[in-house]
Amino acid sequence: MSGLVMPPSTQSGAGAGSGPDSGPGGDQMIVAEGVSKSFGSVHALDSVSVSARRGTVLALLGHNGAGKTTLVNILTTSLPLSSGRARVAGYDVTREPFEIRRRIGLTGQFASVDTQLSGRDNLVLIARLLGAGRRAARSRADDLLELFELTAVADRRASGYSGGLRRRLDLAVSLVGGPRVIFLDEPTTGLDPSSRLKLWEIVEGLVQQGATVLLTTQYLEEADRLADSITVLSAGKVVASGTADELKATVGRRTVTLTLDGDDAPARAGAALRGAGFAPVGGEDGTRSLVVPIDTTREIADVIRTLDQASVEATELTFGEPTLDDVYLTLAEQHARTPA
């Protein structure tokens, strides 16, 4: 992928500008501290704290109504918070909303593309609105069309674009001003797998070039692939946060699944593994596979050695990591069991 995402030199009134960017907080580009938001009796957010360092991806994970969009709206200054504090690019959302708006890109669930215009004209229009001259605007549009692999459809009306193309154009439009912080609200909802993959690659490229991304998603796989840190929201509260690995480590264990050769093999393997301190599961009712929970990958070797010493042959051995699905289901269950 070519570069060219961040240079807002094409316009005067948009993008980087001067100012604190990360402010006294140093490298933190997104900080929310104890943010609450109520709509009448609905507590959409209840003392939510998140942060993201420059050049990282923070994923907000949660099902419908968890509060993700509300937090994005507060951080992008389109919604006032009820209490708490939040800063983006070093500026306060309540006191300095205009400084923030100059420095962010937002791609929402409701696309900002004018479908009556071509992809190129959408980009040129926004660049002109941000203060770029005619030639600079066209050049910025060309760069973004190339980056997003939209050059071939650049002069077609956006109304004829597929969902994936439209989403790419929407993201390209949000990048015209060279934002330092990018908010992606469920960017791949409804996209087919190949369009989703393409968008992920684009996001990874943006981050490599120094952008900070806050991503909301209902897709665990998406958070797992893209995020440096993940905050799980449920009913307006943070129920977990950490890296994907840290979250996975909080629930579920790694497993080794063995498929064994021979009728008595599961019983013999089970006894040997139990003797070695493991707690294998399965092997009953004539099944020939055993699942062995382990804590470290080093224990895989211990499992194999134990089988070897018991003269049991495994025809297949697979290693399984707990998935974010496991994490989310466990957290959701814990949350459901906790009285409000």
Ligand X SMILES: Nc1ncnc2c1ncn2[C@@H]1O[C@H](COP(=O)(O)OP(=O)(O)OP(=O)(O)O)[C@@H](O)[C@H]1O
* Contact set with ligand X (CB under 6 A): 39, 42, 44, 62, 64-70
The residue behind tokens 């579920």 is: 252
The Cα 196–Cα 106 span in angstroms is 18
Nearer to ligand X by C-beta: 44 or 232? 44
> Residue 76 Cβ, how far from ligand X at the closest point, in Å?
13
The partner residues of 160 in beta bridges, in order of sequence, read none
**What region, left, alpha or beta, does residue 19 occupy, with left being phi > 0 and alpha being psi -120 to 50 degrees?**
left
Nearer to ligand X by C-beta: 44 or 169? 44
Nearer to ligand X by C-beta: 2 or 41? 41
The Cα 312–Cα 316 span in angstroms is 12
> Residue 188 Cβ, how far from ligand X at the closest point, in Å?
13
> Residue 185 Cβ, how far from ligand X at the closest point, in Å?
7
Nearer to ligand X by C-beta: 39 or 319? 39
The Cα 104–Cα 153 span in angstroms is 26
> Residue 65 Cβ, how far from ligand X at the closest point, in Å?
4
Residue 158 CA from chain centroid, whole number: 27
Q: Which of 18, 27, 28, 77 is nearest to 49 (CA)?
A: 28
The Cα 238–Cα 148 span in angstroms is 34
What contacts 193, CB < 8 A, 6 or more positions away? none
- Is residue 316 helix, strand or coil? strand
- Is residue 58 helix, strand or coil? strand
Give the up-direction half-sphere exposure of residue 335: CA atoms within 13 A in the CB hemisphere: 17
Nearer to ligand X by C-beta: 42 or 152? 42
> Residue 67 Cβ, how far from ligand X at the closest point, in Å?
4
> Residue 288 Cβ, how far from ligand X at the closest point, in Å?
43
Nearer to ligand X by C-beta: 68 or 166? 68
